[in-house]
Amino acid sequence: MIIVLKQGVTDEQIQHVIDHVEGLGFQAHLSRGTYRTIIGVIGDEERLRSEPLSAIPGVASVIPVLPPFKLVSREAHPEETVVDVSGVPVGGGYLAMVAGPCAVESLDQMRRIAEGVKEAGANILRGGAYKPRTSPYSFQGLGKEGLEILRQVGDEFGMPVVTEVTDPRLVEEVSQYADMLQVGARNMQNFVLLKEVGQVDHPVLLKRGMSATVNDWLMSAEYIASKGNSRIVLCERGVRGFDPAMRNLYDVAAVPAAKLLTHLPVIVDPSHATGRPDLIPPCAMAGLAAGADGVHVEVHDQPESAKSDGAQALRPHEYRELMRRLESLAALLHKQIPRPVERA
């Protein structure tokens, strides 16, 4: 940690800062420059984070050297983590192709869509059973019935399934059906929920919050990892923007930025990011080219009658065409799209 002192700081103030730091059990190294005087603090930086050092007279700012997210940082784990989702590896050159409808609506609907996305090359099936909606009057999902349908269809087509968990009280129930738990954008900083999913033996898909910085996002991942679960896949899904041309601002630069800081896989969701089917293919390609470890796309065979987010879903034939392009790009990038492991 580095303590930057104010211009004009007195010798007495400098000594007071040094004495304070050493009194906490740390080493202090004074460095006087032409324009700035700084004090380098040697020791366990985590212990210092809770100390109000900036309140000491003469201190201009306190700059941490190490990231606050210890467990998910690349410094702590230089090798890329590969997260296993019931036989489908994600990260380290393996790409997750997650596809399916926003919401599970019926058994027939899920079967039709699962058949289409698997044939196209998807390796993880998605579908929401519990839906956090902006309006309390919108379709909230089928609940447990939706989980049962999703699990049945996943087994029929040999695909692991991911679905959102919206409440800490639902973690145990959702874990009985899903291969992967999704924490949505609205819950990225629901710290009770994060700690709860950190205690289960399931991989977690953590979406970036609508107003979250990359640092906020990684700190939420740290909450999960701090409880023992490091099987985390991060998902960039756009942040709040000012342009009504798109649903959100697709922050593709967040992918390489996050991957420089963390060893966790990072995938992209151009469906929620743009809200426009015509923008999903180029944005999916851009995400993959930027280093993403997979693409998450909403697919519906009858988007005009979908109960949730139909306007941003690709039709199965459109998804099939996108997958052909993603497969070509993956080959160019020397990455693989693994097939799901067939279950007995």
44-61 per-position pLDDT tens digit: 777 777 788 889 999 998
Nearest to 254 by CA among 213, 221, 207: 213
- In this structure, are residues 313 and 126 in contact, taking their beta carbons and an 8 Å threshold? no
The letter for the amino acid at 292 is A
Mean pLDDT value of segment 242-247:
92
**pLDDT at position 343:** 64
Question: What superfamily in CATH does domain 2-63 come from?
Answer: Phospho-2-dehydro-3-deoxyheptonate aldolase; domain 1 (3.30.70.1140)
What tens digit of pLDDT does each residue of 9-43 get? 999 999 999 999 999 888 888 888 777 888 988 77
Stretch among 16-25, 209-218, 288-297 having the lowest mean pLDDT: 16-25
How far separated are the first and last CA of the chain, in Å rounded? Answer: 54
What does the pLDDT look like over 101-134, one tens digit per residue? 999 999 999 999 999 999 999 999 999 999 887 7
Whether residue 177 contacts residue 204, with contact meaning beta carbons closer than 8 Å, is answered with: no
Give the amino acid at 211: S
Phi and psi (nearest 5°) for 323?
-60, -35
Separation of alpha carbons 297 and 283, rounded Å: 11
In whole angstroms, give the CA distance from residue 287 to residue 250.
9
What is the three-class DSSP state of 263? coil
SS3 152: helix
**What residues does each domain of the chain span?**
2-63, 83-332
Which CATH number does 83-332 carry?
3.20.20.70
Taking Cα atoms as reference points, which of 234, 261, 214 lies closest to residue 96?
Answer: 234
Supply the pTM of this predicted model: 0.85
Identify the top-confidence range among 21-35, 135-149, 287-301: 287-301
Distance CA 152, CA 119 (A): 18
Closest by Cα among 233, 235, 251 to 243: 251
Per-residue pLDDT for 182 more than 70?
yes
Helical (H) or strand (E) element with 129: none
Give the pLDDT score at 54: 86
Please tell me the predicted confidence (pLDDT) of residue 43.
75
